[in-house]
Amino acid sequence: MLNLLEEIKNNQNIRTTDFILIQKAIDFSQQAHSGQKRASGEEYFIHPLNVASILNSWNLDSQTIVAGLLHDVVDDCQVPLALIEKEFGKEVKFLVESMSGLGLIKYRGIERTVENFRRLFVSTAKDGRVIFIKLADRLHNMRTLKYLPENKQKRIAKETLEIYVAIASRLGIGQVKSELEDLAAKYIYSQEHQWLMENLPSRIKERLDYLKKIKPIIEDELNKAGIKNYKLDFRAKGYYSSYKKLLKCSMNFEEIYDLAAFRIIVEDVSQCYQILGLIHKLWKPLSGRIKDYIALPKSNGYQSLHTTVFSLDGQIIEFQIRTFKMHEECQLGIAAHWAYSENGQLNNETRFKNSKFDWVRQLSQQFSNAYKNQDFLESLRIDYFNNRIFIFTPKGDIIDLPQGATPIDFAYQIHSDIGNHCVGVKINGKISKISKELANNDKVEIITQKNKKPSSDWLKFVKTTDARSRIKQALGIS
C-alpha cells in the first residue's frame, strides 16, 4: 500500500502541523470503509488513499487531501456530515458534501446525471478544490476500470471522454487530460486502440532515440550561450491525441512531427526566444510551423514556443521551449495557481479571482436559468467543452469562444447591450457578415446603433447558448 504520509513530505503546501490531521483522516477513512471491497477485490480504502495521493501530487493543500480521503464515507458508509464537520472542520465538510450524492436517489437516468453535474459546478464555483477531488476520483476509477463489467466500462469511459477530459482541458491540466483520454479511448475505440498499440510504441521509441542523439548538441549550444539552470526533457505524445492527429493525416505517421518532442525548460522568457534563435541558426525551420504561444497563449492558457526543424540527417523534429513556471502551469493548470500564492499563503479568495474559473462561474449561473435536462447537457458540450478560439477586442482584450462562434456570439459575450444593438462587424479591419464564422486570433469590432434590435434570423447561426437565450429574451420569445 502506498505511503501517503511519506509522499506528503514532498508537497510544499503541507506543513508538518498538518500531518496529524492527515493521519487522523487516514485512520477515519480506513475504519469507515473496513470490510468493503473494490471491484478488483482489494480493500476499498485503497481508492480514497489513491485519490488523496493524486491530490498530493498536484501539490494541493491539506484540507483537499483530507477531503480526498473522506470523499466516499458519506455515500458508502453513511457517516453523517455533522461528524465530519466536528472532526475535520467546516471546509472539509463542504468538500466532502460536494462529493456526495445526497438525496439523489429520487433522480433517475439523465436527470440524475444532470443533477450531479449541476451540483458539481455550483460547488466548484464556491470552492474550486471540489473539481480537483472530482478529477482525482475519476482518474483513479479510470485506472481501475478494467475490473468493472463491460457495459459499465463503456458508459463511464464515454462520460469521461465527453465531460471530464473536457473539464481537465478547460482548466489546462494537460497531464490529467492526456491520461484520462488515453484510458477512456481504450474502452470506447477498442479496435483503434489495439491498432495504435501495435504501431505507435516502436515509432515513438525510434524518435526518442533520435532525440537522445541530438541532446549533447543542444547542451553544447546552451552552455556556449551561457544559459544556466535549464532542463532538457522529451515528451511522447499521448495515444489518443496521436490518433486524432493521424486521422487528419490519412494515418501517415511520417506527417506527425511531434510524436516525440524535445523540450527545453529555462528560467525566463527572454531565454526562450534566445534558444529559438539558437536552434534556427543550427537547423532550418519548416515554414508555418513556428508557433509563439508565449505571446499568444492557447485558450486554456498553454504557453510555449514551438518550432519544427530539419535536424541531423534531415530528420524533422519539434522543439518546445518554455519557462519552468509555464511548464508547471501546463502540467497542473489551475491547480498550479491553487498551490502557490504570492506570499505563500493559502488564500482561497485571491485564487478564485483567477479568470480560468470564470467559465465555472458562468456555468453555475446558467443553472439558475431553468434548463431542460437534455438541453443542458447539450449546451455543456457545445459551449464549454468544444475547442475554444481566442478573439481580440479592438482594445486587445481576449474573449474566448467555442469554435464556430460568430460576431453575434462575440458581441453578447462582451455585453448584452452590445449584442442587442449590433448592426455590423469589422473583422481584422474589414466589414464582414455578422454570421461569419470567426477564426482564432481574429480582431473583431462590433458596430452598434442605439435603437437597433436583434433579428430572429440571428437564431439560425449563433453558436452559444448564452447569445441564443439573450436574443430570445430581447425578442420576447421563450
Rounded least distance, CB 51 to Mn ion, Å: 6
Name the residue nearer to Mn ion (CB basis): 127 or 137.
Answer: 137
Does 466 bind Mn ion (CB under 5 A)? Our answer is: no
Stretch that binds Mn ion, among 101-109, 131-139, 235-243, 285-293 (CB under 5 A): 131-139
Rounded least distance, CB 273 to Mn ion, Å: 45
Stretch that binds Mn ion, among 64-72, 182-190, 203-211, 310-318 (CB under 5 A): 64-72
Stretch that binds Mn ion, among 52-60, 134-142, 380-388, 426-434 (CB under 5 A): 134-142
Name the residue nearer to Mn ion (CB basis): 59 or 141.
Answer: 141
Name the residue nearer to Mn ion (CB basis): 129 or 322.
Answer: 129
Name the residue nearer to Mn ion (CB basis): 77 or 227.
Answer: 77
Stretch that binds Mn ion, among 25-33, 65-73, 105-113, 325-333 (CB under 5 A): 65-73
Does 181 bind Mn ion (CB under 5 A)? Our answer is: no
Rounded least distance, CB 54 to Mn ion, Å: 11
- Pairing mode of beta strands 305-310, 444-448: unpaired
Does 137 bind Mn ion (CB under 5 A)? Our answer is: yes
Rounded least distance, CB 72 to Mn ion, Å: 5
Stretch that binds Mn ion, among 69-77, 85-93, 299-307, 369-377 (CB under 5 A): 69-77
Name the residue nearer to Mn ion (CB basis): 137 or 466.
Answer: 137
Name the residue nearer to Mn ion (CB basis): 56 or 323.
Answer: 56
Rounded least distance, CB 99 to Mn ion, Å: 7
Name the residue nearer to Mn ion (CB basis): 54 or 408.
Answer: 54
Cα–Cα dist 254/316, whole Å: 9
Buried b (16+ CB within 10 A) or exposed e, 265-287: bbeebebbebbbebbeeebeeee
Q: Which residue is nearest to Mn ion (CB)?
A: 137
Name the residue nearer to Mn ion (CB basis): 38 or 154.
Answer: 38
Rounded least distance, CB 38 to Mn ion, Å: 10
Q: Are the C-beta atoms of residues 234 and 211 closer than 8 Å to each other? A: yes
Cα–Cα dist 278/273, whole Å: 9
Stretch that binds Mn ion, among 66-74, 114-122, 203-211, 393-401 (CB under 5 A): 66-74
Does 134 bind Mn ion (CB under 5 A)? Our answer is: no
Does 409 bind Mn ion (CB under 5 A)? Our answer is: no
Rounded least distance, CB 57 to Mn ion, Å: 17
Taking each helix axis from N to C end, the angle separating 109-126 and 129-143, rounded to the nearest 10 degrees, works out to 130
Stretch that binds Mn ion, among 59-67, 68-76, 316-324, 434-442 (CB under 5 A): 68-76
Site string for Mn ion, 267-306 (x = CB under 5 A): ----------------------------------------
Does 318 bind Mn ion (CB under 5 A)? Our answer is: no
Name the residue nearer to Mn ion (CB basis): 176 or 279.
Answer: 176
Name the residue nearer to Mn ion (CB basis): 136 or 471.
Answer: 136
Cα–Cα dist 400/444, whole Å: 12
Name the residue nearer to Mn ion (CB basis): 50 or 464.
Answer: 50
Name the residue nearer to Mn ion (CB basis): 117 or 410.
Answer: 117
Tell me the three-class secondary structure of the chain, residue by residue: CCCHHHHHHHCCCCCCCHHHHHHHHHHHHHHHCCCCECCCCCECCHHHHHHHHHHHHCCCCHHHHHHHHHCCHHHHHCCCHHHHHHHHCHHHHHHHHHCCCCCHHHCCHHHHHHHHHHHHHHHHHHCCHHHHHHHHHHHHHHHCHHHCCHHHHHHHHHHHHHHHHHHHHHCCCHHHHHHHHHHHHHHHCHHHHHHHHHHHHHHHHHHHHHHHHHHHHHHHHHHHCCCCCCEEEEEECCHHHHHHHHHHCCCCHHHCCCCEEEEEEECCHHHHHHHHHHHHHHCCECCCCCEECCCCCCCCCCCCEEEEEECHHHCEEEEEEEEHHHHHHHHHCHHHHHHCCCCCCCCHHHHHCCHHHHHHHHHHHHCCCCCCHHHHHHHHHHHHHCCEEEEECCCCCEEEEECCCCHHHHHHHHCHHHHHCEEEEEECCEEECCCCCCCCCCEEEEEECCCCCCCHHHHHCCCCHHHHHHHHHHHCCC
The residues, any chain, with a CB within 8 Å of residue 242's CB and separated by 6 or more, are 196, 200, 256, 259
Rounded least distance, CB 71 to Mn ion, Å: 6
Does 72 bind Mn ion (CB under 5 A)? Our answer is: yes
Stretch that binds Mn ion, among 70-78, 103-111, 318-326, 345-353 (CB under 5 A): 70-78
Rounded least distance, CB 172 to Mn ion, Å: 24
Q: How many residues bind Mn ion (CB under 5 A)?
A: 2
What residue ranges bind Mn ion (CB under 5 A)?
Answer: 72, 137
